[in-house]
Structure 1
Amino acid sequence: MRPHLRVVAVALGAAVLGAAAGLWFGGPGPLLRTELGQRALHGAMSATAPTPPDGVPVAERGKAVPTVRAQRLDGAPLTLPGDFAGRPVLVNLWASWCGPCIEEMPELERFAQAQGANGVQVVGIALDEADAVRAFLQRVPVTYAIALDAPGPRDAGVQLGNTRGVLPYTALIDARGRLVKQKIGPFQPGEIDDWAAEAIQTTD
């Protein structure tokens, strides 16, 4: 690439990333709540994300999710999407120190309660210390499944397509085990129902 073209490409990339960061840190505005805005934000962040280590599979939208393993709070293993075969799963990556993660938890709990045993299953994977998560859940209990994973370049979030490691991050896996939707940032009250329903309906 010629030197002046390389400068333009770098500047363009910086501008896109800057716009994405502005959307992120400025709060979930109207654009960020649209599918187009989410795709643009995800693309911009993925373009500058570090390459996952060799041997770490990363899910791609529209394709089967590679096996993701985490540990439930009681020590039992959790495997995605295998443990929920035949049912859609909404996987939310969070941490007890993440303010936006905490703000959206009542919305996730409301959605999980409304779905019941036969609807979209909700799983929270905390990239956090077990003691911190247990202490937090004593203050803010939820009924949906919670698992743990160590944050890093091989964590469950990376494997589910969040190579930039931004929290909160949500991935929707359909009943066939495919990644059908991704969201960077917290859900607003009432947003999650349409967000999940639209993706599930188009993949049935």
Structure 2
Amino acid sequence: MIALLLRDLRLAVRAGGGFGLGLAFFLIVTVLVPFGVGPETALLSSIAPGVLWLGALLACLLSLDRIFALDWEDGTLDLLATAPLPLEAVVSVKALAHWLTTGLPLVLVAPLLGVLLNLAPQGYLWLLVSLALGTPALSVLGTFGAALTVGLKRGGLLLSLLVLPLYVPSLIFGAEVARRGALGMELTTPLLLLAGISAGVIALLPFASAAVLRVNLR
């Protein structure tokens, strides 16, 4: 599993779908928002948690179609399906590799970009916490969508349409955690709901993704 993880990390970086593309998109979204809504610091501060969460979510979408595409094209996916390693473990490793190359860099850079949106000082920690709890679910959900659309030509748009509705709960509760943290409000409920969503997705969806892959590989 470690060898497979290291291989996927190298492929993600070499294929251009790693942290660089996601970070560039995240930066562009954050920089353009003040031009669209105006330079009012109070307004920017109020919308900063939602904008940062939405930017991270959309940045995660950029590399989802690459999760299985390269392995499908060169036949590696067929070999992985027949290997002693369970397909559920393969899917989990793919999701982890996607999070390490896309989700984790977004988590680390989000507080820095919060400065551009005048995020309240007390909100930086909770923005970091909410993204750290929520982005693993985005990668696992994205892996499920990639498994559904593997082998389809130009399946990127379909993948986005399938995955975006599944991202909504994480977006709602993640942005709410960051917003309440910035305002100094009580945030136990949205924090627990966000953690529960991520835990449930991580526990259940690898089995669904593996089942879908087995159907697509027949």
Q: TM-score range by the shorter chain?
A: under 0.3
Give TM-score scaled by structure 1 length: 0.26
Give TM-score scaled by structure 2 length: 0.25
